[in-house]
Every structure is written in structure tokens, then in C-alpha cells.
Amino acid sequence: MPSLGDLIFALGQWLRTTPLTELSLWIQKQPLSMLIDQNFWVIPIIQTIHILAIATTFGSVVMINLRIFQMAGRSRTMAQTTHRFLPWIWWGLLVLLITGIGMTVGEPVRELTNPCFWMKMVLIIVAASVSLWFQGSVRRNAPVWQLTSDGRLAMRTGAAGVILLWCVIMVLGRWIAYAPT
Amino acid sequence: MVLQGLWQALEGSALGQYIAASSWAFPTFETLHVIAIVTVVGSIAVMDLRLLGLASKETPVTAMSNDTLPWTWGAFCVAAVTGLLLFISKATTYIANPFFLSKMVLIFLAGVNMAVFHLLTWRSVGQWNSSPVTPRGAKLAGGLSLGFWVVVVFVARAIGFTLDKFSS
């Protein structure tokens, strides 16, 4: 039975046999990539903005989910809470996407041939899809869900799942730096 | 460097040596540190934006404080413990790094700002609790807090990029 580490290592080895290697080497030779790479402070500054955007998006997800669990925000309705925090989730995600592209252009080999990077990308698509679907069902069903225990259970399971998913995404994001290469 | 013996003892301790040598310990504590710090900054920003009168204007300031503060403190404790574990793995290197020292000073200043706000401005909160417009003291505290934490994140990230630049 191979361990998770073995699977990640194998994924990394396979990634390096794909055209992604050539693509990342090509990106590395482009003027923008060289500019980012040669200026010492560009990557730390992009990473700082990336982390601040995670704080914005994750903080907003937490605030909505605490409201679902009735552990915070009880002075407001579910609708008021989502109205306050949803835009911040999506604007944060936009900043994450832009800074993420910046880091990838600056260090293409480190990102594009990295197993943790691609696992993170897949989970982001999953998390964004689940969030969109969950948002929709909460909006449609919140008035009913809040009245039945089944509905509350469904909302709470979804909320806990979304938090867990974002935590795993942050784990993978940090482990890009430690992935075997 | 001040207290050099202490930093060397921490780094030489069994736990410090273990974290430095282990392949999983440092990345794992660092990841928990990042998750804790984004929770601290995210929840503080929600409160700061309310104090600045920029968001959650329909929410009473005391309710906003009750909603965010327990999570800010809980996450801050996780960040402090994991931060300490990271620190002892390379104590002498961190203590010589100006970005690390700046980070400690900035967190201290953020704490002083919070304490001053709670001791002075907070006393009159009953008068502006439900008002979308907050007094100057509250705006100042919210703005300073937001500013301090943004810079804390930057100097924190800079530490990792400059570890070999200042160590003797």
C-alpha cells in the first residue's frame, strides 16, 4: 500500500515527463518572468498580497459559516450575513487568482511541475464549485432550512466541509515549497 | 546579541533540534501558523472595517466585537504556539533577523493599540454602538490595527527570504 507521500512523489515525477516542463522553461525565458525573478522583493510582495487575500476570503467564509452554526452573527439574519461577506469572498478570490498567476509566471518550474500545485488547483475548482452550489441552496432554502433539523444538518455539514476544503487548500499551498523535486 | 545564551539553549534543546532535523515538523507547524494567522488577520479586519465605518454598518459595534474577538484570540494562541515552535528550531538565526525583530515589535504595537482603544475609546461605546458613523478614536484604532497587521504579514513573509542574509 503506497503512502500519500509516495503518490505525491509519483505525481511529481509524471508531471516532469509532460509538456509542462517545456512550457515552464519557455515561460522562464519571457521578459516578465525574468523581471519578477531578478527583482528580489517582487515574489515576497506578491506572496504577502496573496496571504492578505486568503485572510479576506477565508475570514469571510468563516464569518458566514459561524452564522450557519449560530456561533457568531446572531444579531443579523442569514441574508444580511451573506450580503455582507459574499462579495469579499469573490473579490478575495480574484486577487488570489491574479497574484497566483504572478507567482507562477515568476517561478514557473517551481509551480507547474509541482504535484502540490496541481492538487491545489483541482481542489480550488472543487471548492469554488461547491461554494457556488452551496451559496445557491442556502439562498433558496435558508428560510425553510432554518426551521427543520434536517435542513440545519445539511447546512452545517456543507459549512464544515467548505471550511475543511479551504484548510486543505492552504496546506497544499504551503507545501508547494516543500514538495519533492 | 542580547540573551545569546538563551537563544542557543532553545535551539540546542531536544525539541528545537527535533523540529530542525525532522522533515515534517517545520512545514507542518508553519502551515498551522499560516492558517492561524489568516484567521487572526481576517477576523481583525472585519472588526477594523466596522470601526472605520466602512463595512457591517448595520451591526452594533459590541455585537461585531463579540462575534470576532474570541476567534481572533483563539487563532492568535495557535499562531503564538506554532510560532514559538518554529522559532526554537533556529532561534539564533531568527533573533539576528531584522524582519523577525520588526514583526515582534509590530505585534506588540498592535497589542498596545488594541489596549489603548479598549481602555479609552471603548468607554463611550454605548453612545455610538449602533451608529454607522464611529468617533475619531475608533477610526484611528481600526486604521492603525489594519495597517499594523498588513505590515506584520509582509515582514513575516520577508523572514523566510532573508534567513541566510543576517546569520553569523
Total domains present in chain B: 1
Higher pLDDT pick, B138 / A134: B138
Total domains present in chain A: 1
Instruction: Provide the domain limits for residue B78.
Output: 4-166
Contact status of A38 with chain B (Cβ, < 8 Å) = no
Contact status of A17 with chain B (Cβ, < 8 Å) = no
What average pLDDT score do residues A98-116 get?
95
- Each residue of A37-68: pLDDT tens digit? 899 999 999 999 999 999 999 999 999 999 98
Using a CB-CB cut-off of 8 Å, the residues of chain A touching B37 are 51, 55
What average pLDDT score do residues A154-175 get?
92
By CA distance, what is B30's nearest residue in A?
A174
What average pLDDT score do residues B83-103 get?
97
Q: Which of A4, A52, A82 to mutate to test the interface with B (most CBs of B within 10 A)?
A: A52
Residue A40, amino acid: F
Contact status of A69 with chain B (Cβ, < 8 Å) = no
Instruction: Provide the domain limits for residue A86.
Output: 4-178
pLDDT at A146: 64
Q: Which of B153, B161, B163 to mutate to test the interface with A (most CBs of A within 10 A)?
A: B153
One-character DSSP codes across B114-164: HHHHHHTGGGGHHHHTT-SS--HHHHHHHHHHHHHHHHHHHHHHHHHHHHH
Task: Give the residue among B66, B55, B163, B19 at the shortest CA–CA distance from A91.
Answer: B55
**Which ipTM value was assigned to this complex?**
0.95
Residue B20, amino acid: A
What torsion do the CA atoms of A64, A70, A71, A77 make, to the nearest 10 degrees?
50
Task: Decide: B46 and A59 in contact? Cβ < 8 Å.
Answer: yes
One-character DSSP codes across B18-78: HHHH-SSHHHHHHHHHHHHHHHHHHHHHHHHHHHTTSS-TTS-HHHHHHHHHHHHHHHHHH
* Residues in chain A, overall count: 181
Single pTM value for the model: 0.94
Hey, CA dihedral for B139, B112, B70, A91, is it positive or negative?
positive
A-B C-beta contacts closer than 8 Å: 81
pLDDT of B13 > 90? The answer is yes
